[in-house]
Amino acid sequence: MYEVLVIGGGSAGYVAGSVLARKGIKTAVVEKEKFGGTCVNSGCVPSIFLFDSSFMLSRWKEIGDYKGINVDVEMSDCTFSKRDDIVSYLSSAGRSLVENAGAQVYLGEAKIREKGKAEVNGETIEFKRLIVASGSSPISYPGVITEDEAVNLRYVPRDMIVVGGGYAGVEIAQIFARLGSSVTLVTRHRILSGFSEKARDYVIQSLEFDGVQVKEFHEVIKMEGNEVVTNKGTMKGEVVVSAMGRRPVLPEGLTKNYNVKVNEKGIAVRRNMMTDDCDVFAVGDVIDKPNKTAHSAMYEAIVASQTISGTPMEVSYECIPKVIYSDPQVGIVGVPEKATKIAEFPFNAVTRATISGLRDGMVRIGFNERNEIVYGEVIGKNAEELINILTLAVKYRVNMFDLATTVFVHPSLSEAISNASKSVFDLDVDRFK
Ligand SMILES: Cc1cc2nc3c(=O)[nH]c(=O)nc-3n(C[C@H](O)[C@H](O)[C@H](O)COP(=O)(O)OP(=O)(O)OC[C@H]3O[C@@H](n4cnc5c(N)ncnc54)[C@H](O)[C@@H]3O)c2cc1C
């Protein structure tokens, strides 16, 4: 009998399984496809591998020219097989993490047959508590490839229509445009809803610079094969990609045997990740929550594991950052509506950005009337790293003056953060550029 059965070996599942096992709690993790789930096999990892490749292809020449170095770059035949090697390495690393921690791994689909009993490949597994980490799957249309399939393509299509203006759609559009496809990005509203106007403007400008045709306010009526019919006309592409959202994946027998509430967005949970049934926790993309990212899935897995092991924790979604891996990248954290003032600082006034030829973008910090930091935004290269500084600031409501009087290394890109806070007190040092 296991203390905890974890269903799903993705970002949420492998973290929960390994953390619980390291605490000495008898745990099993069941995975029906590949360890690492969406993030490793068809999300973050293949997508960011291709993002880096496309960045090198399109920007190294430009950065080389900036620095007086002759750079000749071209894509080689093995780009896609290199991506696949990294994916399989990280997938087996996820499984090893769970096994090395002492949890039992089962490969196969878990079906819940009764309270405390699941079946995997005909074998019955008994458990006391359940963590559902079964993730989500993309919404699919006949003959149209999904976002998960797009990042695993093994060739560069001549032309591509990407439907969906969220982070996955934007990233896929820019990657393939830079790899050589002629790309059209179609979206019902504006792209990147939830991000600031400034961030959207930078990203749209950069997409258009890369040759992406951005078609906002196009309502898709039908998508099939290589055709997309919208309220403004019909478009055809060699490949059509649907990046229009995802649905939760529920293990068979879950709602029949447990008092778990589910809506169209996923399983309803409390802030400690417990469902309406106190024996069942749910974490990651399968839950009804605003932030469907791998890092929030891993955080929720830690919260659930701590709570189960007697050290209760609660999730605060306000402090979970989001990043779009476009170029320029955009990172945000916190709640802009809580800010009474915004301090901004552009990268083109930062010494390190000027040295490196990375002058696009800016830092924006929102603070309240007590000067506490409640929002952060980084637009530009390395936003994925810089936003983590602002995440700490938002989490602990750091005072702008304390940030302004903290010494940052010179020259560094993060001086944009330092200077944004300094500018509020007339202490910024890079204003002359
Ligand atoms: C193109 C793309 C790019 C992305 N980029 C990023 C990014 O840059 N950063 C980021 O943070 N997030 C990114 N994401 C989102 C991220 O991948 C997901 O939020 C994350 O993988 C969710 O983790 P999870 O463990 O909840 O679910 P999943 O990773 O989907 O894992 C669920 C696992 O459960 C298994 N499973 C399901 N049902 C059963 C069952 N009954 N029995 C056994 N096993 C079962 C599945 O096979 C799967 O492996 C991206 C997603 C996509 C599609």
Of the residues 54, 293, 303, which should be mutated to test ligand 1's pocket, given the most ligand atoms within 8 Å of the CB? Answer: 293
DSSP string over 113-150? EETTEEEETTEEEEEEEEEE---EEE---TT-EEHHHH
| Distance from Cα 30 to the centre of ligand 1, integer Å | 14
Burial (0-12, 13-18, 19+ Cβ within 10 Å), 369: exposed
pLDDT of residue 71: 86
- HSE of 140, CA atoms in CB hemisphere, 13 A: 10
pLDDT of residue 431: 63
Q: Which CA distances in Å does 158 have to 139, 181, 184, 236, 391? A: 24, 5, 12, 12, 40
pLDDT tens digits, residue range 386-413? 999 999 999 999 999 999 999 999 999 9
Average per-residue pLDDT for the chain: 95
Statement: residue 433 has pLDDT above 90? no
For range 328-350, the mean pLDDT: 96
List strands edge to edge, sheet with 182-186: 145-146, 239-242, 159-163, 182-186, 213-215
| Distance from Cα 356 to the centre of ligand 1, integer Å | 35
pLDDT of residue 101: 98
- In ligand 1, which atom is closest to the CA atom of 138? 53
Closest alpha carbon to 130 in 32, 261, 28, 224: 28
Greater model confidence, 75 or 232: 232
| Distance from Cα 309 to the centre of ligand 1, integer Å | 24
Tell me the three state secondary structure of residue 249: coil
pLDDT tens digits, residue range 105-127? 999 999 999 999 999 999 999 99
* Token pair listed for 138: 């993309």
Q: How confident is residue 289, by pLDDT bands cut at 50, 70 and 90?
A: confident
Of the residues 134, 167, 296, which should be mutated to test ligand 1's pocket, given the most ligand atoms within 8 Å of the CB? Answer: 134
pLDDT of residue 10: 98
For range 200-207, the mean pLDDT: 95
Across 51-72, b (16+ Cβ under 10 Å) vs e yields bebbbebbbeeeeeeeeeeeee
Gyration radius from the chain CA atoms: 23
User: How many percent of the chain have pLDDT more than 70?
Assistant: 99
Q: Which residues have a Cβ under 8 Å from the Cβ of 377 and sit 6 or more positions away?
A: 196, 198, 199, 330, 331, 332, 333, 336, 363, 364, 365, 366, 390
pLDDT of residue 429: 75
- In ligand 1, which atom is closest to the CA atom of 296? 11
Statement: residue 258 has pLDDT above 90? yes
Among protein residues, the one with the nearest Cα to ligand 1's atom 33 is: 8
For range 283-290, the mean pLDDT: 94
In the chain the domains, ranked by start, together with CATH numbers, are 2-43+80-138+246-319 (3.50.50.60), 145-242 (3.50.50.60), 328-432 (3.30.390.30)
Cis peptide before 251 (omega within 30 of 0): no
Closest alpha carbon to 180 in 324, 330, 329, 73: 73
Q: Which CA distances in Å does 338 have to 175, 239, 291, 335, 369? A: 34, 42, 19, 6, 10
Among protein residues, the one with the nearest Cα to ligand 1's atom 30 is: 135
Q: How confident is residue 248, by pLDDT bands cut at 50, 70 and 90?
A: very high
Q: How confident is residue 432, by pLDDT bands cut at 50, 70 and 90?
A: low
pLDDT of residue 330: 97
How many Cβ atoms sit within 10 Å of the Cβ of residue 159?
16
**Cβ atoms 312, 306 nearer than 8 A:** yes
pLDDT of residue 60: 86
Closest alpha carbon to 51 in 89, 91, 79: 79
pLDDT of residue 430: 67
**Pocket of ligand 1 from Cβ distances under 6 Å:** 7-13, 30-33, 37-39, 43-44, 47-48, 109-110, 133-136, 147-148, 151, 168, 249, 251, 284-285, 292-295, 297, 325
Statement: residue 72 has pLDDT above 70? yes
- The conformation of residue 274, written as its DSSP 8-state character, comes to B
Q: Which CA distances in Å does 83 have to 9, 47, 141? A: 21, 9, 26
